[in-house]
Amino acid sequence: MNVFQTHYFLAFDLDSTSKDWAQKQQEKLAKEIGYSAYKSWVHKEDFHITIQFFGALSQDQLDRIKELMNKLADFNKIETYLSSGGYFGTLPHPRVVVLDVQLTEYMNELIQFVKCYASTTDLPVDKRSYSPHVTLAKKVNEKYMLDQHVAFFDQAPAQKISSKLKSISLYSVQHTTPNYHIVRSIELK
Protein backbone atom coordinates (compact mmCIF):
# COMPACT_ATOMS: atom_id res chain seq x y z
CA MET A 1 0.00 0.00 0.00
CA ASN A 2 1.36 3.43 -1.00
CA VAL A 3 0.75 5.94 1.80
CA PHE A 4 2.54 8.78 -0.01
CA GLN A 5 0.13 11.28 -1.51
CA THR A 6 1.46 13.44 -4.30
CA HIS A 7 1.60 17.11 -3.36
CA TYR A 8 1.44 19.96 -5.84
CA PHE A 9 2.45 23.59 -6.10
CA LEU A 10 2.35 26.37 -8.67
CA ALA A 11 5.62 28.23 -9.34
CA PHE A 12 7.45 30.63 -11.58
CA ASP A 13 10.13 28.80 -13.53
CA LEU A 14 13.66 30.18 -13.59
CA ASP A 15 15.58 30.43 -16.84
CA SER A 16 18.93 28.67 -17.21
CA THR A 17 20.93 31.86 -16.52
CA SER A 18 19.10 32.39 -13.22
CA LYS A 19 19.51 28.72 -12.27
CA ASP A 20 23.24 28.86 -13.03
CA TRP A 21 23.60 31.99 -10.89
CA ALA A 22 21.57 30.43 -8.05
CA GLN A 23 23.78 27.34 -8.17
CA LYS A 24 26.91 29.51 -7.92
CA GLN A 25 25.46 31.25 -4.85
CA GLN A 26 24.65 27.85 -3.37
CA GLU A 27 28.20 26.61 -4.01
CA LYS A 28 29.67 29.73 -2.33
CA LEU A 29 27.46 29.09 0.69
CA ALA A 30 28.43 25.41 0.87
CA LYS A 31 32.12 26.27 0.57
CA GLU A 32 31.83 28.79 3.40
CA ILE A 33 29.74 26.78 5.88
CA GLY A 34 30.16 23.20 4.63
CA TYR A 35 27.65 20.78 3.16
CA SER A 36 27.05 19.21 6.59
CA ALA A 37 25.43 22.41 7.90
CA TYR A 38 22.20 21.56 6.03
CA LYS A 39 20.57 18.18 5.55
CA SER A 40 19.01 19.12 2.21
CA TRP A 41 20.64 21.06 -0.61
CA VAL A 42 18.26 21.90 -3.46
CA HIS A 43 19.11 20.42 -6.86
CA LYS A 44 19.74 23.01 -9.59
CA GLU A 45 16.78 21.75 -11.63
CA ASP A 46 14.50 22.26 -8.59
CA PHE A 47 15.16 26.02 -8.29
CA HIS A 48 11.86 27.93 -8.67
CA ILE A 49 9.77 30.68 -7.07
CA THR A 50 6.67 29.21 -5.43
CA ILE A 51 3.40 31.03 -6.08
CA GLN A 52 1.02 28.73 -4.20
CA PHE A 53 1.46 25.42 -2.39
CA PHE A 54 -1.62 23.19 -2.70
CA GLY A 55 -0.69 19.89 -1.07
CA ALA A 56 -2.58 16.74 -2.10
CA LEU A 57 -5.28 17.33 -4.73
CA SER A 58 -8.22 15.45 -6.20
CA GLN A 59 -8.56 15.07 -9.97
CA ASP A 60 -11.34 17.68 -9.90
CA GLN A 61 -9.02 20.14 -8.15
CA LEU A 62 -6.24 19.41 -10.66
CA ASP A 63 -8.70 20.22 -13.46
CA ARG A 64 -9.49 23.56 -11.77
CA ILE A 65 -5.79 24.36 -11.57
CA LYS A 66 -5.50 23.69 -15.30
CA GLU A 67 -8.33 26.21 -15.83
CA LEU A 68 -6.45 28.67 -13.61
CA MET A 69 -3.29 28.18 -15.64
CA ASN A 70 -5.19 28.95 -18.85
CA LYS A 71 -6.17 32.29 -17.28
CA LEU A 72 -2.57 32.95 -16.15
CA ALA A 73 -1.41 32.70 -19.77
CA ASP A 74 -2.95 36.18 -20.22
CA PHE A 75 -0.41 37.70 -17.81
CA ASN A 76 2.79 39.30 -19.10
CA LYS A 77 6.31 38.14 -18.36
CA ILE A 78 7.70 39.56 -15.11
CA GLU A 79 11.04 41.29 -14.64
CA THR A 80 12.47 40.89 -11.13
CA TYR A 81 15.73 40.53 -9.19
CA LEU A 82 17.21 37.63 -7.27
CA SER A 83 19.60 38.53 -4.45
CA SER A 84 21.82 36.48 -2.16
CA GLY A 85 21.94 36.47 1.62
CA GLY A 86 18.40 35.59 2.62
CA TYR A 87 17.20 33.04 5.15
CA PHE A 88 14.16 31.94 7.16
CA GLY A 89 14.47 31.30 10.86
CA THR A 90 16.79 32.96 13.31
CA LEU A 91 20.52 33.16 13.66
CA PRO A 92 22.65 31.34 14.62
CA HIS A 93 20.70 28.46 13.02
CA PRO A 94 18.55 29.68 10.11
CA ARG A 95 16.41 26.71 9.09
CA VAL A 96 16.31 27.63 5.38
CA VAL A 97 18.76 29.58 3.19
CA VAL A 98 17.21 31.40 0.24
CA LEU A 99 17.76 33.88 -2.53
CA ASP A 100 15.43 36.80 -1.97
CA VAL A 101 13.19 37.77 -4.88
CA GLN A 102 12.01 41.33 -5.43
CA LEU A 103 8.20 41.32 -5.17
CA THR A 104 7.11 43.65 -7.95
CA GLU A 105 3.64 45.14 -8.11
CA TYR A 106 2.80 43.08 -11.19
CA MET A 107 4.07 39.86 -9.59
CA ASN A 108 1.91 40.62 -6.56
CA GLU A 109 -1.15 41.12 -8.81
CA LEU A 110 -0.61 37.68 -10.34
CA ILE A 111 -0.16 36.06 -6.92
CA GLN A 112 -3.32 37.73 -5.57
CA PHE A 113 -5.20 36.56 -8.67
CA VAL A 114 -4.11 32.97 -7.93
CA LYS A 115 -5.15 33.23 -4.25
CA CYS A 116 -8.53 34.74 -5.16
CA TYR A 117 -9.18 32.08 -7.81
CA ALA A 118 -8.16 29.31 -5.42
CA SER A 119 -10.37 30.58 -2.59
CA THR A 120 -13.44 30.87 -4.85
CA THR A 121 -13.01 27.46 -6.51
CA ASP A 122 -12.45 25.26 -3.45
CA LEU A 123 -8.70 24.94 -3.90
CA PRO A 124 -6.39 24.98 -0.87
CA VAL A 125 -4.99 28.44 -0.11
CA ASP A 126 -1.72 28.90 1.76
CA LYS A 127 -2.50 31.29 4.65
CA ARG A 128 1.12 32.22 5.38
CA SER A 129 2.35 35.65 4.35
CA TYR A 130 3.98 35.53 0.95
CA SER A 131 7.70 36.14 0.64
CA PRO A 132 9.01 35.21 -2.82
CA HIS A 133 12.29 33.33 -2.69
CA VAL A 134 14.42 30.58 -4.22
CA THR A 135 15.40 27.90 -1.69
CA LEU A 136 19.09 26.90 -1.70
CA ALA A 137 19.32 24.71 1.43
CA LYS A 138 16.96 23.57 4.17
CA LYS A 139 16.81 21.52 7.36
CA VAL A 140 19.66 23.03 9.34
CA ASN A 141 21.95 20.56 11.05
CA GLU A 142 22.69 22.62 14.18
CA LYS A 143 25.66 20.56 15.36
CA TYR A 144 27.55 21.55 12.20
CA MET A 145 26.53 25.23 12.21
CA LEU A 146 29.40 27.03 13.90
CA ASP A 147 29.57 30.60 15.20
CA GLN A 148 31.85 31.69 12.36
CA HIS A 149 29.16 30.63 9.90
CA VAL A 150 26.76 33.17 11.40
CA ALA A 151 29.10 35.93 10.23
CA PHE A 152 28.60 34.69 6.68
CA PHE A 153 24.89 35.49 6.88
CA ASP A 154 25.45 38.86 8.56
CA GLN A 155 28.45 40.10 6.60
CA ALA A 156 28.42 38.48 3.18
CA PRO A 157 27.83 41.22 0.61
CA ALA A 158 24.53 40.70 -1.15
CA GLN A 159 24.79 40.04 -4.86
CA LYS A 160 21.91 40.25 -7.28
CA ILE A 161 20.90 39.37 -10.80
CA SER A 162 18.03 40.44 -13.03
CA SER A 163 15.66 37.62 -13.91
CA LYS A 164 12.79 37.49 -16.39
CA LEU A 165 10.01 35.12 -15.36
CA LYS A 166 8.57 33.76 -18.60
CA SER A 167 6.62 30.68 -17.54
CA ILE A 168 4.63 29.15 -14.72
CA SER A 169 4.42 25.43 -13.97
CA LEU A 170 2.35 23.12 -11.85
CA TYR A 171 4.83 20.86 -10.08
CA SER A 172 4.37 17.54 -8.32
CA VAL A 173 6.62 16.64 -5.40
CA GLN A 174 8.42 13.30 -5.88
CA HIS A 175 10.85 11.31 -3.77
CA THR A 176 13.56 11.41 -6.44
CA THR A 177 16.30 13.80 -7.50
CA PRO A 178 15.31 16.28 -8.82
CA ASN A 179 12.35 16.35 -6.39
CA TYR A 180 9.95 18.40 -8.47
CA HIS A 181 8.40 17.31 -11.75
CA ILE A 182 6.47 19.53 -14.13
CA VAL A 183 2.87 18.39 -14.58
CA ARG A 184 1.89 21.29 -16.81
CA SER A 185 3.57 24.51 -17.91
CA ILE A 186 2.33 27.72 -19.53
CA GLU A 187 4.19 30.62 -21.11
CA LEU A 188 3.42 34.17 -20.02
CA LYS A 189 2.78 36.80 -22.74
- Residues marked active site are found at 48, 133
Rounded to an integer, what distance in angstroms lies between the CA atom of residue 181 and that of residue 141?
27
Neighbours of 72 (CB within 10 A): 19
Question: Is residue 26 within 8 Å of residue 35, measured between CB atoms?
Answer: no
What are the backbone angles phi and psi of residue 76, rounded to the nearest 5°?
A: -80, 160
Helix axes 59-72, 105-120, angle to 10 degrees: 150
The sign of the torsion formed by the CA atoms of 187, 80, 121, 124 equals positive
Q: Give the helix/strand (H/E) hosting 117.
A: helix 105-120
Residue of 7, 2, 4 whose CA lies nearest to 173: 7
Residue of 53, 77, 39, 189 whose CA lies nearest to 133: 53
